[in-house]
Amino acid sequence: MLGKKSLLSMITVFGLVSSLGAFGNFTLDLNEELDHNAKLIEKHKKTIEMLEKRNKFLQAEKAKNPKLYQKKALYEETDSEYIHRVKLNGAEAKNVSFVIKDHRLSIEMNIKTEQKSDQGYFASSQYFFQSYSIPENVNESKIRHEVDGDYFVIVMPKK
């Protein structure tokens, strides 16, 4: 049978170990923990350096043509016109088909890309279609479209 002192010692040790465990990954081997932390720091330094390089590249791209990266409302109404924008996402406006027929406006875009490399052949295709009724208070004969940065813009003047 354990004596009272032995039992109290065991309870105290168990309580101490439990308390230390509450502070996270407590380890008695400080060298092991220091090595582990140094590896994590080095790993994250490389990640941070990579992100900083990527940000420099993105900033340089944005500086080349800032209009491509301006955010604009996709739909706007003023006193004199409706403005509808379609984000091109880098696609060329020549790939956009714009049709007005039977009081409906349709926008269609089909983008195909092909790449050949040493690793093989890569092809992708993206398709976008949108159609909606033209409001009754719009002068259909004066509807126009233009490219503004990375947006295909449709301007519908009111009557």
So what's the pLDDT on residue 25? 56
Residue 97: φ, ψ to 5°:
-105, 130
So what's the pLDDT on residue 90? 73
Whether 93 and 51 map to the same domain: the answer is no
Share of residues in the chain with pLDDT > 90 (%): 42
- The answer to pTM > 0.85 is no
Whether 81 and 139 map to the same domain: the answer is yes
Whether 76 and 147 map to the same domain: the answer is yes
User: What integer is the mean pLDDT of 29-52?
Assistant: 91
Whether 114 and 153 map to the same domain: the answer is yes
Whether 53 and 121 map to the same domain: the answer is no
CATH number at residue 95: 2.60.40.790
DSSP 12-61: HHHHHHHHHHTTSS--S-HHHHHHHHHHHHHHHHHHHHHHHHHHHHHHHH
Whether 14 and 73 map to the same domain: the answer is no
Q: Rounded CA gap, 149 and 137, in Å?
A: 28
Whether 53 and 97 map to the same domain: the answer is no
Whether 73 and 151 map to the same domain: the answer is yes
Q: Predicted confidence band at 149 (pLDDT cuts at 50, 70, 90)?
A: confident
State the total domains in the chain: 2
Whether 132 and 81 map to the same domain: the answer is yes
Q: Which tokens hold the place of 4?
A: 């009272």
So what's the pLDDT on residue 140? 92
Quick one: DSSP state of residue 143?
-
Structural domain that includes position 58: 4-64
Whether 82 and 8 map to the same domain: the answer is no
> How far does CA 83 lie from the centroid of its chain?
25
Q: Predicted confidence band at 104 (pLDDT cuts at 50, 70, 90)?
A: very high
Tens-place pLDDT, residues 107-135 = 998 888 888 888 888 888 888 899 989 99
Whether 36 and 104 map to the same domain: the answer is no
Residue partners of 112: CB distance under 8 A and separation at least 6: 123, 124, 125, 126
Mean residue pLDDT of the chain comes to 83
Tens-place pLDDT, residues 53-84 = 999 999 998 899 887 788 888 999 999 999 99
Residue partners of 27: CB distance under 8 A and separation at least 6: 33
Closest by Cα among 132, 137, 131 to 81:
137
So what's the pLDDT on residue 23? 53
End-to-end CA distance of the chain: 101
So what's the pLDDT on residue 6? 55
